[in-house]
Amino acid sequence: MTSPARKASNAQGHLKLSAVLEELDMSRSAFYRLRARGKAPKCIKLPNGQLRFRRRDVDAWFAAHEEPAP
């Protein structure tokens, strides 16, 4: 069974915003607030205004926000 996040990616590993929001469990408005502060994962803005995310950039963003175990 293919997950919705997997369906929203293409062969180059680019994810749609909806897939990233699902992974982050975050609303679109909260994501755009993060993006406005420069704290969101790196993205590619297409000429039509849509955003795409490289899988490796989202994974790196997650890794950069890990907290050490107490």
Vertex 56, ends 14 and 5: CA angle to 5°? 45
- Residue holding tokens 């849509």? 50
The reported pTM is: 0.76
pLDDT tens string 12-41:
679 999 999 999 999 999 999 999 999 999
Please state the domain extents for the chain: 4-64
Q: What local confidence, expressed as pLDDT, does residue 10 receive?
A: 56
Q: Are 58 and 44 in contact (CB under 8 A)?
A: no
